[in-house]
Amino acid sequence: MTDCLFCKIVTKEIPATIVYETDRTVAFRDVNPQAPTHVLVIPKGHYENTAALAAADEGLADEVLKTAHAVAVQEGVADTGYRLVFNTGPQAGQTVFHVHGHVVGGRDLQWPPG
Ligand code: AMP
């Protein structure tokens, strides 16, 4: 999608610190980190939100989930604990409409979130 920020990160038109990549997914550091580890995991293809990802090609949502966990392992937070958050829709605060999971960890996280 030509106007999508995260599509431009996939095509490298916009720089990002990529920390992990598979054939169909990419993970990069959030530009405004909320914790010592804050990485965004996305499918390379454009899907607006979790509903679109859930309806995508077989195995893509699975691959996004596996990439998120691989990032947590790589970042050293898999054992201490981390949160995987997909803000979906305006009331959840989604601001970029290319589905992304936030991998957040490296500090104590409050529950429930705000
Ligand atoms: P959300 O509010 O769930 O849609 O999250 C969007 C996230 O994208 C926010 O945490 C932003 O800090 C992050 N973000 C926005 N622009 C960039 C960028 N160019 N590179 C990395 N992260 C970004």
Amino acid (1-letter code) at residue 13: E
How far does the centroid of ligand 1 lie from the alpha carbon of residue 113, in Å? 18
| pLDDT: which is higher, 57 or 25 | 25
User: What mean pLDDT is predicted for residues 80-105?
Assistant: 97
Task: Give residues with Cβ within 8 angstroms of 6, minimum separation 6.
Answer: 40, 42, 96, 98, 100
Amino acid (1-letter code) at residue 59: G
Instruction: Report the distance separating Cα 41 and Cα 75, nearest Å.
Output: 13
Q: Where are the chain's structural domains?
A: 5-105
- Tokens, residue 101: 């999971």
**Which residue in this structure is represented by tokens 């803000």?**
87
What fold does the segment set 5-105 form as a domain? HIT family, subunit A (3.30.428)
User: What mean pLDDT is predicted for residues 53-76?
Assistant: 96
Res 16: pLDDT: 98
Q: In what order do the strands lie in the sheet with 101-105?
A: 18-21, 25-29, 37-43, 101-105, 82-85
On average, the pLDDT of the chain sits at 97
Res 58: pLDDT: 87
CB atoms within 10 A of CB 114: 4
Nearest ligand 1 atom to alpha carbon 96: 4
- Report pLDDT digits (tens) over 8-48: 999 999 999 999 999 999 999 999 999 999 999 999 999 99
- Ligand 1 neighbours, Cβ below 6 Å, are 5, 14, 16, 28, 30-32, 40, 87, 93-96
Res 46: pLDDT: 98
